[in-house]
A and B are shown apart, each in its own frame.
Chain A
Amino acid sequence: MVKVYIPRDTTALAMGAERLATELAVEAKNRGADIEIVRNSSRGMFWLEPLVEVETANGRVAFGPVEAKDIDSLFDADFVNGGLSHPLCQGLTEEIPYLKKQQRLTFARAGITDPVSLEDYQAHDGFKGLKKALEMSGQAIVDEVKNSGLRGRGGAAFPTGIKWQTVHDAVAPGDAAQKYIVCNADEGDSGTFADRMVMEADPFMLIEGMTIAGLAVGATQGYIYLRSEYPIAHQLLNEALAKAEAANLLGENILGSGKTFHLEVRLGAGAYICGEETSLLESLEGKRGLVRAKPPLPAIVGLFGQPTIVNNVLSLAAIPYIMAEGSKAYADYGMGRSLGTLPFQLAGNIKRGGLVELAFGLTLRELLEDFGGGTFSGRPMRAVQVGGPLGAYLPESQWDTPLDYESFAAVSAVLGHGGVVAFDDTVDMSQQARFAMEFCVVESCGKCTPCRIGSTRGVEVIDRIVNDENREDNLELLNDLCDTMIDGSLCAMGGMTPFPVKSVINHFPEDLHKPVTEDMAS
C-alpha cells in the first residue's frame, strides 16, 4: 500500500483537487494499483496545486500542478513508485528550494499531516505545549510568552505577552464574572491566506494555542470568530474541535488537570470591519459591527463587558511552539524588536505564489525574486502592496526594505498580516488609489465621519483628478482629506485607508496625471 497525498485546501480545491482525487482513485482501481489516498492540506506552494505527493523510502516525491488529464501519464510513468521521469515531477518535496529555504515553526506540519487527524498531530509534537502549560501557573505561562518577544500578527504588532498580562491581572466584574479568549479569524485582507492555511492545515494547533491562553489568564471560554468566506476552514475546525473534546484535550477537566476550557466557532457575515477587534466583539455579541472607542481596552472591558484576549490566528498558532520549545528557541529567530518568524503570503501577479515562513529581516526584493520568481504575466513588476488593502503600494526603489515592523514604518508602509500583492506594469495606480477609497465606502462601519463620509469624498476627488478637473486644487484637497482621515478616524479602517492613496500620490504621481483613456472611464 502506497500513500498518495492530495490536498483539500481551498486553493488546491479551487485548482481542481477534488475531481483529481476522485479520478485518480478510479484509475488506481482500474490498474490494480494498491494506493491509499490521504487528503492532507497544502504545503503552501500554490503555483504547484494540486500538488500530488507519493510516499517513498526516500521521502515524499512531489508532482504538480497535476490536472485530471495527467492521470494516465502519471500511472504510465509509474509515479506510484516515485517515477521521477514524469515531466510534472518536482523531486523530493522537502528539497524543493521554495520550501527548503523556509524556517517553518508555525507551519511545520502544514501539508504533512491529515489536518483533522489527532494521531498525526500528536505524532508531530502536538499538545506538547499544552501538557507543559498544564503543569505551570498562569503567570509562568504569561512570562514565557513575554520572553518569546511575540508580537500580535494581526497587524498592529502589539506585544502579545503584555496583552495577556493585562487580562491575567484584570478582575472580571459582576455575577457572571468570566474572562474570554477570542481568536480573530476574520482574515479579510486581500493577499492574505496564512490564517486560512492554519485552520485548514493544522486546526489543532490553533485549538492548543487558545487553550494555553485560557490557562494563562484564567479564561474558561473561547470563541473563534471566523469569516463566512472560509467554509472549508469552518468544517475542519469543527471536526478538530469535536475530536479534541472527545480526547479530553478540551472541555471540562482537561487531561484530569482540573482545568477547563470550552471553545466554539462563530461565523461572521461578510463585514471587513469585523476584523477590527472592538467591532469583532460587537459582532460576537450579536450587534452591528460598529467599532468601540478605546479605552477601555478589550483586555479590561471586552466581550460581554469582561476581560478578553483578542488575538489573531497566527499569534495564537505561535503559542504551542513557544510553550513546547521554550521562549528562547522562538526569540532566536528574527531581528531587532521583530522576533520569531512571520509567514509571508505571496500573491497577485506573481509566478510562484504561496506561503513563505521566515524569520523577520529578509528584504521584500528577496521575497519577490528568490521566492516569487517575478510576475506571473512575465512583464516587469511595477508596484507591490504589502499589508492588505490598508497597506501602502511600494515602488521598486523601496523593495530593498527589510521585512520587519520598524523598517516598514520608516518608509510609511506597514507589514500588517504579511500579505504581499504584486502588480505588473499594466497597473493603473490612479485606479488602485481610487479603489482604496471605494473599498472604505463599502466596508466602513459608519460610526465616525472621517471614514464614512471621507471615503466617499475621496472617490469623488480622485475621479476629478483623473478627469483633469482643477487637478492641482483637487490634489491638494485629496492630501487634506487623507490627513483628516488619518487624524480623525476612530479606528484603522479610516485611519489607514489613506496609506495606499498617499503612496500612489508620492511614488506613482505620473498615473494621476495621465490623460483619460477609455479603459479608465469604464
Chain B
Amino acid sequence: MTAFNEQSRQQVSDIVEEMKNLPGAMLPILHAIQDAQGYIHTDAVSIIAEGMAQSRAEVHGVISFYHHFRTTPPGKHTIQVCRAEACQSMGSRQLEAHVKEKLGIGFHQTSADQQMSLEPVYCLGNCACAPSIQVNDDVVGRVTASKFDQLVDQLSTQALEVK
C-alpha cells in the first residue's frame, strides 16, 4: 500500500476522470482515493489538481482542512478513541491514557510495525453507551481498559492467522 507506483497513479487518474464533473466533486474524489489507497499520496495531489483545474496548493488546502483525510499510510488497523464530553463523563480520559500506553503510540501516530494507527474522534454517536472507540469499521461501546486489551489481543492474533 505504501508505494505510489504506476498502478496507483492510474487509479487516481481514473477516479478524477470519472468524478470530476460532479457538482462539488472534490470531497467525493478525495474519499474515493482514500478508500482505494488508504491515504492521499503527495503525488496524487498533482493529478487531482490538474484534473480539477486547481492549483496544488488549493487541493492541499482542502485535504489538510479535514481530519478524515490522511497523507501518510495508515497501519493495518486503525483505532479511534472518542474524546467528546459524553465519553469523558464515563472515564474516556483515563481510557485514552491506557490506550496510548498499551499501543505505545500517541494520537495521529502509527506503530513502528505498521500494525496500529491511533486517531482521536469527536463523537461516534454512541453517547448513551460511553465510552466508545472505533476499531476499523466497528464502533465498540462501554469500553474498559481490560475490554480494550482483549480487543487489541484479538486483532494481533488475527493478524498472525492471516499470514
- A interface with B by C-beta (< 8 Å): 10-11, 13-15, 46-47, 49, 187-193, 196, 228-231, 266-272, 283-289, 304, 345-350, 353-354, 376, 385, 389, 419, 421-424, 427, 431-432, 435, 439, 442-443, 445, 522
Contact = CB atoms under 8 A, between A and B. Distances in A.
B129 A350 contact: no
Contacts of B138: 13-14
Contact of A188 (B123, B130, B142): B123
Given A267-B31, A346-B128, A348-B90, A439 B62 contact: no
Nearest to A376: B90
Interface residues of B, number: 41
Contact of B89 (A14, A272, A283, A422): A422
B106 to A, nearest CB: 14
B30 interface: yes
18 contacts: A15-B141, A187-B125, A188-B122, A190-B85, A190-B122, A230-B125, A266-B27, A268-B27, A269-B27, A284-B24, A286-B62, A346-B128, A348-B127, A353-B129, A385-B85, A421-B86, A424-B89, A445-B65
A443 B25 CA distance: 23
A266 B24 contact: yes
Nearest to B124: A229
Contacts of A15: 129, 141-142
A10 B122 contact: no
A349 B129 contact: no
Contacts of A193: 125-128
Given A190-B85, A345-B128, A347-B128, A522 B97 contact: yes
A229 B89 contact: no
Interface in B58-112: 61-62, 65-69, 84-90, 93, 97
A442 B128 contact: no
Nearest to A272: B122
Contact of B127 (A271, A284, A347): A347
Contacts of A196: 125
A268 B23 CA distance: 15
Given A11-B141, A348-B86, A424-B89, A269 B125 contact: no
Contacts of B24: 266, 284-286, 304
A272 B25 CA distance: 20
Given A13-B139, A190-B127, A286-B24, A269 B66 contact: yes
Contacts of A354: 128
Contacts of B68: 228, 268-271
Given A14-B126, A14-B138, 10 more contacts: A11-B129, A190-B87, A192-B125, A196-B125, A230-B125, A267-B28, A286-B27, A348-B89, A348-B90, A421-B127
A63 B108 CA distance: 41
A15 B140 CA distance: 7
A366 B98 CA distance: 36
Interface in B19-71: 23-28, 30-31, 61-62, 65-69
Contact of A189 (B30, B69, B123, B130): B123
A348 to B, nearest CB: 4
A272 B67 CA distance: 9
A176 to B, nearest CB: 10
Contacts of B69: 269
A192 B128 CA distance: 9
B86 A190 contact: yes
B65 A288 contact: yes
B137 interface: yes
B132 interface: yes
A304 B124 CA distance: 30
Interface pairs A-B: 5 shortest CB-CB: A353-B128, A286-B26, A190-B84, A269-B66, A347-B127
B86 A229 contact: no
Contacts of B26: 286-287
Nearest to A522: B97
A421 B89 contact: yes
Contacts of A191: 84-86, 127
Given A286-B62, A288-B65, A289-B65, A443 B127 contact: no
A25 to B, nearest CB: 19
B126 A288 contact: no
B27 A11 contact: no
Nearest to A375: B89
A304 B23 contact: yes
A46 B31 CA distance: 31
Contacts of A47: 128-129
Contact of B84 (A268, A271, A389, A427): A389
B121 interface: yes
A287 B62 contact: yes
Contact of B67 (A11, A269, A427): A269
A282 B90 CA distance: 35
Given A270-B67, A286-B62, A11 B85 contact: no
Contact of B90 (A231, A286, A349): A349
B139 to A, nearest CB: 4
Nearest to B80: A229
Nearest to B140: A14
B89 A349 contact: yes
A289 B24 CA distance: 12
A286 B25 contact: yes
A110 to B, nearest CB: 14
A46 B125 CA distance: 12
A385 B123 CA distance: 15
Nearest to B139: A14
Nearest to B84: A190
A289 B2 CA distance: 29
B28 A270 contact: no
B70 to A, nearest CB: 10
